[in-house]
Amino acid sequence: MKVVAVLGSPHRNGPSSTIAEEVLRGAKDAGHEVVIYHINDMNIKGCQACGYCKNNRADCILDDDLKTYWKDLHECGALVVSAPNYCAQVAGPMITYMNRHYCLMMRDGPRIRPGIKLVGVFSQGQQDQDMYRENYKWYLHDFEERRMVLTDMIIHTSQTPYDRESEIMKKAYQIGNAL
């Protein structure tokens, strides 16, 4: 199975990317193919509301670095998204990316194979794990509306260790390995 990951932090070695990569290590060990997109390194526009997708039942035609993503998404069995929390919400570039999935929503329902597994990994400074939980759920709900099935969500708080032997990394590996 193909696993697509979209990592949203500017920190390649920060907690959200590191924990997401551990999910992917578990997935690879289970025999899955992994394709990673690093949003911070990509040139991505917001949805232009051009209507092309709705009028043509087509994936987004914007000519930017999401071009190859749509094919990967349609082929995958699981999507892993990760992001830091900026100003109480999932960091902006990941919201821009999420908005682009507008192209999958048709008047007669979502235009994507149902049942793609969804994993969300978020990192925040606040120690209270529940403080932004509803915001992360709001974010993931957009993918769930496209018939993806949320299998797990990991919320990292800034004082939680995320070294190889830590509990959160073990959980991440297991989540990926069970995809």
Ligand X SMILES: Cc1cc2nc3c(=O)[nH]c(=O)nc-3n(C[C@H](O)[C@H](O)[C@H](O)COP(=O)(O)O)c2cc1C
Complex with ligand X: residue 29 or 128, whichever CB lies closer: 128
Complex with ligand X: residue 56 or 127, whichever CB lies closer: 127
Give yes or no for a contact between 103 and 53, defined as CB atoms under 8 angstroms apart.
yes
- Shortest CB 108 distance to ligand X, Å: 38
Complex with ligand X: residue 15 or 26, whichever CB lies closer: 15
- Shortest CB 2 distance to ligand X, Å: 24
Complex with ligand X: residue 9 or 103, whichever CB lies closer: 9
Q: What count of residues does the chain have? A: 179
Give the footprint of ligand X on this chain (CB under 6 A): 9, 11, 14-17, 84-88, 123-126, 158
- Shortest CB 136 distance to ligand X, Å: 12
Q: Which long-range contacts (CB under 8 A, 24 or more apart) does 114-117 make?
A: 114/147, 115/147, 115/148, 115/149, 116/73, 116/76, 116/77, 116/78, 116/79, 116/147, 116/148, 116/149, 117/77, 117/78, 117/79, 117/148, 117/149, 117/151, 117/179
Q: Of the candidates 2, 14, 33, which has an alpha carbon nearest to the alpha carbon of residue 121? A: 14
- Shortest CB 124 distance to ligand X, Å: 4
Both tokens assigned to 101: 């999935």
How many angstroms separate the CA atoms of 25 and 30, rounded?
Answer: 9
38 beta partners:
7
- Shortest CB 25 distance to ligand X, Å: 17
Complex with ligand X: residue 58 or 88, whichever CB lies closer: 88
The 8-class DSSP code of residue 127 comes to S
Place of tokens 């597994």: 117
